[in-house]
Structures are given as structure tokens and as C-alpha cells.
Amino acid sequence: MSFFETHDPRFAAYVMKNAPVKQLATGFDWVEGPVWFGDAACLLFSDIPNNRILRFTPGAGISTYRAPSNYANGHTRDRQGRLLSCEHGTRRVTRTELDGTITVIADGYNGKPLNSPNDVAVKSDGSIWFTDPHYGIMTNYEGFQSPQELPCNVYRVDPDGSVEAVLTDFNCPNGLAFSPDESTLYVSDTGRMFHPDPQHIRAFSIASGRPTGGAVFHKVDKGCADGIRCDTDGNLWSSAGDGVQCIAPDGTLLGKILVPETVSNICFGGRAKHQLFITATTSLYTITLNRTGAQRP
């Protein structure tokens, strides 16, 4: 069987035809938020409904990193390598310090609690950008059902701790990623729960430091673009209902990696940041690419 679907000849340079989509572990309920720790040679990811962060170590398998996890969802690392976590249950973004203590980065705006932070990215100036859709408070499945008090915004937290709502015209912002030169911010909109909202990825110019523009960059043709990551060429890799889509900087679909379960999120990792880790419904998958992830560290 083929693990790929080619839509543009450029895609051939990015994949290795003899590298399989491999299931690393299964039996979870809804996995999300993968983040690679090269220094520890392991991947952390969330099993949200089961309220835990798991660790995959090549050669050693799955172990528990943190439980309960406050229904953590998306993760990344800051420029100092510290873990940043979006927590549905406590409606906040946190940083795990090197000694293991937890620092709250943001838990409210204008005196009101956040909804349920979903995914997070860090810019080279140290600012922390995160999305705040309402998925984690709509039901008790991935958090605690609670009234929504704020719109579903994208926020930026500056190094001095100040929080600003920088994007306020989304139905439900979800994944986000900076282009390698940080001139563009990509944000996916996965729509309000139980509503037939449009689902697409938008692109914002942040040349001036603040996002402007926001035209629709790409619409995945199956499912939705939940988690997104860039490679060093500026291609955007996106989760989708039938796998992972590779999208050129001009918005053209180059090709797909086909995955047997609905994909929620992805991240690059491994020895050369050439391995794509894929969280997909009940399982963790991986595939080795002929491509390097742009995420840092």
C-alpha cells in the first residue's frame, strides 16, 4: 500500500517512498499536543480525556509523564527549553520550570477566565502565543463543562507577562505556527462545536510585530486543520481527517501522508528533526521524512 498521495511533483522531494507510517502505540482516547524533547530523546503528548500527559521513548515505549494533567492539550517548549502546556481543566497556560514547579503564564483576560487554551507557539522574542477556543468547557469529556465568558481569541503573552488578545475574529482558533523567518503566523480555525462553521487555515503578516491580513491560506479537504507545523523550507504540515497535508508557502497542496485514524496534531522530532510524530485519535504514529522541522529548540 502507499502511505502517500501526491498532488504536486514538488512533494516527491519531501518524502521517502520506502519509509512507512508506523503505529508506535495505541489504546488511548484522544491524543493531542505532541512535543519533542531532543535532550531527553523522548516525545510528550496528551491523552486528553484520560487527563494525562504521556511520554514515548524510542526503544522503551510509553510511560506516564504527568497525571492528572489538568486535561492538558497542546504543548511546546520555550527558548529556554521549558515545557509550555495548555490546560483545559484549569483554563490556563503554564510553564514547567526546570525544577518541576509550575508557573502560570495566563489564566484570564479582562478579569474573566480563559475558555480552554488549546495550542501554543513561541516566537524568538520570547512572546508566547496561544489559542483559546471553547472545546474544553463545552462538555465534561476533555475538561469541565462551564459557562463561556470570553470570545474564542488568540492571545500573545509578552516576556513581561502582559496578555493581549491579538486575533479576535475567529470561530475557534486551534493550531498555530510561525513561518521559519517569523514573517507569517498561520492559525487554523476549526469552528464552533456543533456548528457548521468554515474550517481553514489563515495566514497573518507579522512583519510589524502585530498580525495583519488574515486571508484564508488553505482549506483541508477532509476533516479539519487542528495542529500545524512548518518545515525549514516554509512548507506547512497540517493535520486533517485523512492524514497529514503538506502545503507549500503559496497555499498549494503538495501531498498527503495517509493515516488510518483522524489526525489531531503533529510535531517534528528525532535525531535530525526529520521524523514526524502524529497524534491521531487513539494512537501515536510516526513517519521519517526527507525534511527537517523548523520548530525550535
- Helix (H/G/I), strand (E/B), else coil: 291: coil
- Give 199 or 288: the residue with its C-beta nearer to Mg ion: 199
Kindly state the smallest distance separating residue 119's Cβ from Mg ion, in Å.
5
> What is the CA angle 220-288-67, rounded to 5?
80
235 binds Mg ion (CB under 5 A): no
Kindly state the smallest distance separating residue 73's Cβ from Mg ion, in Å.
6
Spacing of C-alpha 283 from chain mean position? 16
Q: Single out the residue of 71, 88, 116, 119 in contact with Mg ion (rule: CB under 5 A).
A: 119
Q: Which residues are bridge partners to 159 per DSSP?
A: none
Residues numbered 134-153 forming contacts with Mg ion, rule: CB under 5 A: none
Task: Write out the three cell numbers for 137.
Answer: 468547557
Measured CA to CA, the distance from residue 71 to residue 55 in angstroms comes to: 15
**Binding span for Mg ion by CB under 5 A among 62-70, 101-109, 170-178, 233-241:** 170-178
Q: Single out the residue of 69, 70, 174, 275 in contact with Mg ion (rule: CB under 5 A).
A: 174
Residue 20: how many CB atoms within 10 A of its CB? 12
- Give 14 or 71: the residue with its C-beta nearer to Mg ion: 71
Burial class (CB in 10 A: 0-12, 13-18, 19+), 248: middle
**Binding span for Mg ion by CB under 5 A among 7-15, 61-69, 85-93, 173-181:** 173-181
Strands 22-26 and 283-288 come out as antiparallel
- Give 187 or 257: the residue with its C-beta nearer to Mg ion: 187
Kindly state the smallest distance separating residue 156's Cβ from Mg ion, in Å.
18
Applying CB under 5 A, what is the total number of residues that bind Mg ion?
A: 4
**What are the angstrom distances between the C-alpha of 124 and each of 128, 179, 195?**
9, 12, 36
Strands 112-113 and 212-218 come out as unpaired
226 binds Mg ion (CB under 5 A): yes
**Binding span for Mg ion by CB under 5 A among 90-98, 122-130, 207-215, 222-230:** 222-230
- Give 174 or 286: the residue with its C-beta nearer to Mg ion: 174
Q: Single out the residue of 116, 118, 245, 288 in contact with Mg ion (rule: CB under 5 A).
A: 118
Strands (E), 136-242: 154-157, 163-167, 173-178, 184-189, 200-205, 212-218, 228-230, 236-240
Task: Write out the three cell numbers for 192.
Answer: 464552533
* Residue 179 contacts residue 230 (beta carbons within 8 Å): yes
What's phi and psi for 63, nearest 5 deg? Answer: -140, 170
**Binding span for Mg ion by CB under 5 A among 2-10, 81-89, 110-118, 216-224:** 110-118
The torsion angle over the Cα atoms of residues 127, 131, 137 and 143, rounded to 10 degrees, is -60
87 binds Mg ion (CB under 5 A): no
Residues numbered 242-261 forming contacts with Mg ion, rule: CB under 5 A: none
**What are the angstrom distances between the C-alpha of 46 and each of 120, 123, 255?**
14, 23, 27
**Binding span for Mg ion by CB under 5 A among 17-25, 111-119, 156-164, 249-257:** 111-119
- Give 47 or 226: the residue with its C-beta nearer to Mg ion: 226
**Binding span for Mg ion by CB under 5 A among 77-85, 152-160, 218-226, 283-291:** 218-226
- Give 72 or 253: the residue with its C-beta nearer to Mg ion: 72
- Give 87 or 119: the residue with its C-beta nearer to Mg ion: 119
Contacts to Mg ion by CB under 5 A: 118-119, 174, 226
